[in-house]
Structure 1
Amino acid sequence: MAHPEPSPALVATLILTLAWVWTEECLGVAPNSDTQQIHGIALGRKKREPKCQVGEYLHSNRTHCCMRCHAGTYLAEDCQSDILATRCMRCPKGTFTATDNILRKCISCQRCRAELQQITLSECTEKKDTVCGCQTNQFQSELNTLFKCKNCSPCHNGTIRQNCTKNSDTICVCHPGYFLHKNNCNPCSSCNEEECKKDCATVLRPSTFPSVQDDYWGSQGHIILLIGLVVVLAASLGLLFAVKAIRQYRQRVTTAIFYSCVSTQQPKKETVSEVVMNERKAATFAPVTPQIEKMWTANAVPRSMVEQELPDCVRPAGKTQLPDNPVVLYTVADHVLLSRWKEFVRRLGLSDYEIERIELEQRRVRDAQYEMLRQWRLQMGQGATVERISYVLNQMELSGCSEAIQEALAGQP
């Protein structure tokens, strides 16, 4: 029996089908849409879905990608093609979207519940939900949105180990004689349960159950005691050194003053110590009360007494006129205490007006002393003698200064 030969149309259809499959799968080239059906026979080609980028989503038809809506908006209408924009609308009041989305409507804002003692920390916006929290000295009892605000434990009859935080209560440590129940320290006299009886028994027998604090002091106590002894010893040595330094300072001041204006034997001119110079600077032209000025004016030496004889206890200086030599004038100024300088020049006969005028003109102490002596010498003329200076110093009970000036001037050329 002879086999029937296939018709040419069937052979052509099979060849075209194999060619299309090979082109689709091997070469990745899709044939023309017009060739998808041949002689009314559907080829059934499966289309590939496009890959969307970040910030895009696949259209419901799965033919193209659309842009997502930004935070604060929602998806009102999909884009019609990948070159057209998605239609997004702003969230109505009382709703929000916090991120890029493809939601068909915005999320409703939560409401802070006053019955749970919640307060509003920040209001709801288009891009952010309402933030609820608790007041100061309160904490959230739960971690969800239905949390309740509770007051932080004050730790009466105990100490605070850890302060109250946003999500946790205060951690308390009770004093001896108290036990912890519901984060409150209650007296052991009200203990009726086995758990609290164990805690109270531990407190009542510290020797049997030593605490961590006792162990700490037992191991570290000798170190702290040694540090305390070292600190006390250092403080004692510092105090002794300070007392010794103060005594030496006072001794130097006393010695300098004694040898500068009391000693009657000065083989050579001694330099004035730094301590005395500081004393002079501190007392520079100190204000004098009217009573003392009146006394000094009354005790001033009148010009008629210049030629009087000196007392027997004072060595005569001779009728030597004070020369107009800066070295001589500075020598006199160096041997008179600065604290009694005004009294000295007043007793010599210089008026308060001249003293104040020179003080204003000469800002340096040494220059003012020199100018006062020079002005006094010009006013007195022949009466400006070494004898008068010695007489005034002896009236001021500064005989040592008088003799020192005489010896210093004797050594001048």
Structure 2
Amino acid sequence: MKAFFFLVSFLGVFPDVYQTLAIPLPNALLIHGEPIGFNTSSHREKRSENVSASCSNHEYKPKKQNYCCPKCLTGYRVAKDCSGVGQAPHCVPCESGTYSDIPNNSKRCVSCTTCLTQYGQITLSRCSPGKDTECGCPEGHFKQYSGQDFTCQECTTCRNGTQAFKCHDDKDTICQCFYNFFFHVSEKTCRPCSECEGSECKDHCPNPEKVKNPEENKGLLWTGLGAAAIMAVVVLIAFGVYIYYARKHPSPPHKSTDSIGRTPSSNNNEDKEDSKTIKNLEDENIYIVQHSTQPLLQNGSLPLPDITNIQSPPSLNTPEVKYAIIDSIPLRRWGEFVRRLGLSDHIIETSEKDHRHYGDAQYAMLQVWLTRDGGPTTKRDQLFNVLREINLGGCIEKIEEYL
């Protein structure tokens, strides 16, 4: 009874405490440190007002401001931010020695670059408010980069070869060496195959041990020229002796003959012999040679025959030779080949556009080259020299079969 009385008294005396204890547990949980059931709408609305404004690429947001300002143009900097939405900032030009090459909201411009003369650099264009200094290399040099800086190096000269690609910007010259020469990488020169020792030259000199010394080649050349000179002297002497004896011992005048080669005579014995001869000739195939009707010289001899053998030079302007040239040269080397013959890129492009098949375009290019000034011998020498220069000397034998 005492316990029941105590409980009733406690509830009657402390009703507020009871109500507090009667609050459900979920209502006592906190969200972000705030009790459930409290009115927090005004607090959150205040926080949403501090969210940063969204600006485009051509705008910027000033510090401690909630609006966007347009950026200054190239060559200018911001002296004072704009005062509100739709207002423009105060922009001033970059000072001397500084630049700004993009739209910006910077308070300072960037310092101009100074070309490093100790590296061989030169100033191609001076610094302006909207553009930095442009540094480069003098003519005949190329850029060799080392990190952000570059050094100007002298372009390689193609001795004993031709330029496949010219020296330009940051690219050195690429050389195409002549036949029997190889490109020495460290020295950047074309060296003769007789000096080939390592693996760097085996592609250009497949049999370096068989390549003769240039001095030996010169000796063979002089030997061949000497033998040719001796043969020419012998031929001239023989020709002179022939002319001398022909003039000293002229041939007797020819007697007139009849239709079967007989000489008329009134002697009966000769007639008998002629009759026997005719009888013998009837059993054989006789070929009657008509004598020359050329007038005799004063000494009674016939004029000497013209023994000068004049041969016309081989002509390249035939369909057989043109197609032989086209078939001999690899298609990937054709452009280099016709450019070395002297054809311009305009002629090459025009020929390719005017013909549906590339073989017809190649034929047209050769026709243009053959119609230019120069005789057959000159054209032939030019053709063979170009093939040797581009290491296609093996094509010469195929082409000569059609000449």
**TM-score when normalising by structure 1:** 0.40
**Radius of gyration: which is bigger?**
1
